Structure 1
Amino acid sequence: MINWKQVPLGPVQANAYVLYNQDKEAVIFDPGGDGEAFQSALQRENIKPIAILLTHAHFDHIGAVDHIRDAFNIPVYLHQAEESWLSDPAKNLSINMTPQGFTARPADHLIIGENRLRVGPFEFQIYETPGHSPGSVSFYHEETSTVFSGDVLFQAGIGRTDLPYGDEKTLLDSIHLKLLELPEDTTVACGHGPETTVANEMDQNPFLSGL
């Protein structure tokens, strides 16, 4: 049995996710901050992380990457289009938060293309879903009927495209051609706010009307 939980972290409460099995092995999506508290919570519940998967490399999704990576000695996965972002405060936008910005070490593994990704006992279909950022990816986990989509699609909203490297048409194409093609009962685990479903967003999302 595989389950997941949402954990808002960091200065803007971006959603991290913990996907775990009956043995408490887990993958961590987008650990955005509060590294010590997040580590302690995982250890209290005997969660054993085996990898960090990043939907994209904006500051609010990567703030605890190195802390969690080092605490559990696990690798980080990131799309190749944002290979340099972890170490570049201008690209990850943390320069807008503090004078020095924020950096993390490079990813251990780069995601290239829309392949299947197996991490320990977990398997995902990767979808390239740019528009909010050029390397945004969504991880579809068929066993739980969940897509971990970062800041691509929200409940009644879509990701920002007014940030550097954002593009609204590209984002809408990503949503329409990738996420809305998933089964309608798929849960969308969003980067901010509550989860939703593909069906709900097809029917009710005002940004997607007319697609």
Structure 2
Amino acid sequence: MKWTQLPLGPLQTNAYVLQNEAKDAIVIDPGSEGPALVQWLKEQNLKPLAILLTHAHFDHIGAVDDVRNEFKCPVYIHQEEQDWLPDGSKNGSERFLGSNAITARPADHTIENEQTLRLGSFQFEVLETPGHSPGSVSFYSKEHSIVFSGDALFAQSIGRTDLPGGNHQQLLESIHQKLLELPEDTVVACGHGPTTTIGSEMDSNPFLSGF
């Protein structure tokens, strides 16, 4: 499996595109710049099988319908946020963008609990990692030693918890009980900023000491 990090939009939200040798692809968090993302996928001759959302904040969902409409692929989100996509007040876009609220059609599939998600040749362990938002999840590929953590864990930082539904203590518990339990060489593909590893964050993330 090959994966590509694509920072999109004014908040430079990381979309991730995973692909196999057959050019099947998974798109995680297509946050903005829909036409450009669709064009890039076409130029790479990729065939998206699904869109996976770590959570439904507006900066992670802006290109969902562009990609879904073009490639006819389903969208997956945790059930706690299944009604956030079409609602600018819940996904935060009304608060930050006013009348330019960002919305998308409801997801095609909801994730109800931790499970193994198999999509074509791709396989992920779905880890429930709430705290940044109630329905935040991380997608872990054990085979490829990488976890797509959304806005739960960043390089030398953690997700903000001052937005509606955020909970600082819950986020710390999610990180310690779910993410830091992964092998230390696991790559953490964050929702913003550079990638890191579980081991690096265990050793030096200032937000995780003294928990």
Q: Which amino acid aligns with 2:142?
A: E
Post-superposition offset of 1:10 = 1.8
Q: Say which is worse superposed, 127-136 or 44-53, in terms of deviation.
A: 44-53
> Sequence identity, in percent?
62
Note the alpha carbon deviations across 1:92-136, whole angstroms, 9 max, x for none: 001021325121100000001111110111011000000000000
SS in structure 1 of the partner of residue 148 of structure 2: strand
- Return the alpha-carbon distance in structure 1 between the equivalents of residues 71 and 101 of structure 2: 25
Name 1:181's counterpart in structure 2: 181
Alignment of structure 1 residues 89-108 onto 2, 5 Å: 89-95=88-94, 96-108=96-108
* Total equivalences in the alignment: 210
Structure 1 residue runs without a partner (length 5+): none
* Aligned match of 1:205: 205
In the alignment, is the contact (CA less than 8 A) between 1:3 and 1:144 conserved in 2? no
Q: Write the distance in 1 (CA, Å) between the matches of 2:27 and 2:191.
A: 13
TM-score (normalizing by structure 1)? 0.98
1:88 aligns with 2:97: no
SS of 1:39 mapped into structure 2: helix
TM-score by length of 2: 0.98
Range moving further from structure 2, 96-105 or 138-147: 96-105
Say which SS state the counterpart of residue 192 (structure 1) adopts: coil
**Aligned partners of 1:117 and 1:123 also within 8 Å:** yes
> In structure 1, the residue corresponding to 2:99 is in which secondary structure?
coil
Output one character per residue of 1:124-172: Cα deviation in whole Å (capped at 9) or x when no partner: 1000000000000000011210000100000000000011110000000
1:197 shift after superposition: 0.2
Report 1:7-156 matches (<5 A).
Answer: 7-95=6-94, 96-156=96-156
Q: Which amino acid in structure 2 is aligned with residue 37 of structure 1? A: A
Letter in structure 1 aligned against 2:207: F
